[in-house]
Structure 1
Amino acid sequence: MPKISASKALSRFRVLDLSRVRAGPTCVRMLADFGADVIRVEPPPGVDPNEAMFAADRLGGDFQNLNRNKRSLTLNLKKPEALEIIKRLVKDADVLVENWRPDVKARLGLDYESLKKINPRIILASISGFGQDGPYAGRPGFDQIVQGMGGLMSVTGHPDQGPVRAGLAVADSSSGLYAALGIMTALLEREQSGVGQWVHVSLLHAQIAMMDFQVARYLNDGDIPVQVGNDHPTSSPMGLFSASDGYFNLGASGEGSWVRFAKAVGREDWLSDPEFKTEKLRVKHRERLNREIQEIFAPKTVAHWVDLLNEASVPAGPVYSVPQLFDDPQVQHLQVVAESTTPQGPTKQYITQPVHLERTPSAIARSAPDWGEHTDEILKEIGFDDDAIRSMRASGAV
């Protein structure tokens, strides 16, 4: 069966995906969607006691969305024959992605020093909770643990509410995307040097990097970020307001937007109010300003205010539930959702890549693979015959 490539952009690269759960598969999904030949290497059913968490529900939306455009090869890495298969694959691979605890790869002989002896051009991408060394290197890292340690929970939620987790896997997803960027950078550098390198990303560092201006203003200005609910920590008026039929967000930060906003809602008197003369003053007197804005917004609908404000070039938008967001005409225009039929028959829906390349776009060419769906196919590609494959199945190596 010929390999199916989602795009021409990365079709010359082969990626071995030994990662699990979310951060690693997020990283590799980006490469797969742009055409890399991704081989998802996973234990045969029943080998990993945690398989129900990340592999058992093959038709589940989360598994399908993370693992589309990949092939599946089952290997039991506790067996020497399986490790030899990995090493044979490494000879012609461009990238190997893993998110084991740091000591595991050395124990398996799949650390960078070992891999580069097999293939000097290989790029090893390692994703961990806390880094490849240091006092926490051996700790397991989960998204919510890192949201707390990386500061995100301290600035999420309302004042005096206590820490609140974000409603999505910020640390997992961001570390996966940073890893994909690191891999692409290493591939570009390899064109000059001719050799690969070790790329490593931690959830903790990625989460702190995602804090961005919040931590930058602390480091440089001594301003400690705190919970401010739906208000912006440094801009006003900017936040959540309610209309007669629901909520919407307003973003009238900066002097230009502030002036346009005041004129649009018929309150030009605000422009000469000494408490609102500058952004800092508007933040200082936010409680009064928000109260007066809310009085204006309350009688009319969300659609009325969103249309009026956008016509005045003042950012504003409704607050959607997940079902509502997919009904939005701009979301539909952006083709955020694509479909593919699974090997078992049902059609599944997927979130497309938000990065658009005009000439070599990403695509969803196939659904996530069934367990070990491509094992024989891949083993034959690297030189094993039917008898050898039967022997490896009998031994439990594949």
Structure 2
Amino acid sequence: MKHNFGAGPCILPAIVLDQAADAVRDFNGIGLSILEISHRTPEFEAVINETQGLVRELLNVPADYSILFLQGGASTQFSMLAMNFLHQGKKAAYLDTGFFSLKAIKEALFFGEVDIVASSKDKNYYYVPVGYQIPATAAYFHYCSNNTIEGTEMFSHPASSVPVICDMSSDIFSRPIQVADFDLIYAGAQKNMGPAGMTLVVVKNNLLEKITAEVASMSDYRIFRDNNSMFNTPPVFSIYVAMLNLRWLKEKGGVTQQEVENIAKSDLLYTEIDRNTLFYGLADPKDRSRMNVTFKMHDPGLEAEFLDFASQKGIVGIKGYPSAGGFRVSLYNALPISSVEVLVKCMQDFEAKNLNQKVSLENKVTV
């Protein structure tokens, strides 16, 4: 058995994989694969409508928001949102909390000026800045709620008089949120929703009415809203699997129940990191992510050995991002706590093994 802690694509529930596999062979008994059907058919229109309804129900999305399914991943949103909302003569306010924040800032600069209101770069992005001011003249305020590489998460945001835009790619559907606090939320599907290929956008309709720039059709939120996310061929399979996954989430109790489970999983792992003499956490404890746990070893020379030790127990996907090093353990919704228990036991066993080797070596030296 494999215990998949990879940062994305995400682990999916077994029942979702089974249902998706069935639909690849024969979708709803119509004799065609979900990979073959036209997106213009009533069958797929029912899929996209149900998926929108599940998003609206699970996140309690107000009626004056539109739900869109777009292509290009969250990275396309870095430029698309600036194209639509960074109007001439305005600056956009960005919070710099790491790798993906910087990517978003870089793309926005192609369309206008950016005011970085605060940054945690001074401590390798292992904390979330507080106490900053958002200019009242900004076109919008942008931040990333969960930083997958650095292992930090924001559970609240400062009050703002300007539109708030949030990249929730890696913690969407992991806990309840107040959608009304945001003007636009976007999230790549491949963390907590489904397979890569689809990006969720939840956007307040009156924000779309404020667009004054001329925007190419494929980058215009209004066109996708007006065409029910089907201006061109949408990512049919990704949307379908997301629908199955959101059904599963609803049946198990929704995001409220999921938050309880995610807290239990992350608390279990952080407790072991803090206890174990070989490991130490990277993120400031008050900003620790429930989705992506980052840590290192006091002796970096043991890291390769631990990775090999863990892989022998079926543990995969825990190697840290290349620029960060160490370890990154992703605890997305479908990961059971039993997998976290296996990892914790592995860490304890490796600690005992290392201690025994050390004692044995000391005894040899003494003799």
TM-score of the aligned structures, taking structure 2 as reference length: 0.25
TM-score of the aligned structures, taking structure 1 as reference length: 0.24
Q: Larger radius of gyration, structure 1 or 2?
A: 1
